[in-house]
Structure 1
């Protein structure tokens, strides 16, 4: 198998390490294999690939889609980011909890976030190119988000960002706080909340 699949503390999240074959000329690595992923129990189908570039200190998130939730296989093509997922699945024992992974282009590690999670990342390096495979298409009318620094979610941005205020889009400054009483997704990632 060309990958090492590691379950994260929140059910459904995986950190994935491809095998790197390198020598003095450079390296080769598989970044996705349906066969290997299916053997590991990850039977998602990807329909869209996205890529973004960001300078250091940029924070994007926390984003999700409501009626068209996206599973995402994310990695840093260049640079280093702190990538975070927040469990929005009603009935999950980790509902409202977050988990983060440092994605490093030198390590080539990946993070799989299934449907039913909010997602965001902070750029640690001076510059980063970030890419992700999605299990559903982007629907701009279906966008939603959570306040990036909501204390109830308890994302440990501070240990990564320090006291520096992250660079946010105007849209990302306006997301609402997480509401523990709200119905987000059921355990199969079907949207049961209200827009």
Structure 2
């Protein structure tokens, strides 16, 4: 696998080596030894999550605060998404900046997002299944988020329509300036 640093320190795009033959393909989705050698630290994943969504759904921007912050390794099992990571670490040189990438079942890319980031995604195809590992357990008392259309961050969601399908909870998230800070 190839681990590629993004413009946001600590956030990495992972491209697997895919071995194809007439039976299909094989790929190594995660290798802790390679991960540590390239990222510089080990992550112990303790929870796996999966969601299924239809085209136009937008989930996020979500994060957990304080000691309940989560690092995530995101991949798509079917369909495609525009995956977005926002640096919300106040001491970071890229504070308030985002990185986005298309993840799909076809390209098999993964995105590693360290603690101290908000995360969200826009679904680009029907019947999309997203799977991710977290290094900390979800705790609803420490859940926070930023409204998807925040003007300070100004994420280009590449949405087909101006009105994505979002949950009532996500519609009521605060702006970046009013959000709960991670650290």
Point out where structure 2 has 5 or more consecutive residues left out of the alignment.
Answer: none
Partner of 2:102: 102
Partner of 2:161: 163
Q: Provide closer, same or farther for how the CA distance between residues 63 and 101 of structure 1 changes in structure 2, counting only shifts above 3 A.
A: same
Root-mean-square deviation (CA, aligned residues, Å) is: 1.4
Tell me if structure 1 keeps the 8 A contact 2:97–2:153: yes
TM-score by length of 1: 0.89
Q: In structure 2, what is the Cα distance between the partners aligned to 1:63 and 1:132? A: 14
Partner of 2:176: 178
Tell me if structure 2 keeps the 8 A contact 1:13–1:114: yes
Q: In structure 2, what is the Cα distance between the partners aligned to 1:105 and 1:43? A: 26
Runs of 4+ in 1 over 3 A off after TM superposition: none
Partner of 1:188: none
Partner of 2:51: 52
> Are residues 1:61 and 2:60 paired?
yes
Point out where structure 1 has 5 or more consecutive residues left out of the alignment.
Answer: 186-190
Aligned residues: 181
Partner of 2:17: 19
Q: In structure 1, what is the Cα distance between the partners aligned to 2:41 and 2:12? A: 9
**SS of corresponding position for 1:46:** coil
Give the alignment of 1:79-90 within 5 angstroms: 79-90=79-90
TM-score by length of 2: 0.95
Shift of 1:27: 0.5
Tell me if structure 2 keeps the 8 A contact 1:86–1:119: yes
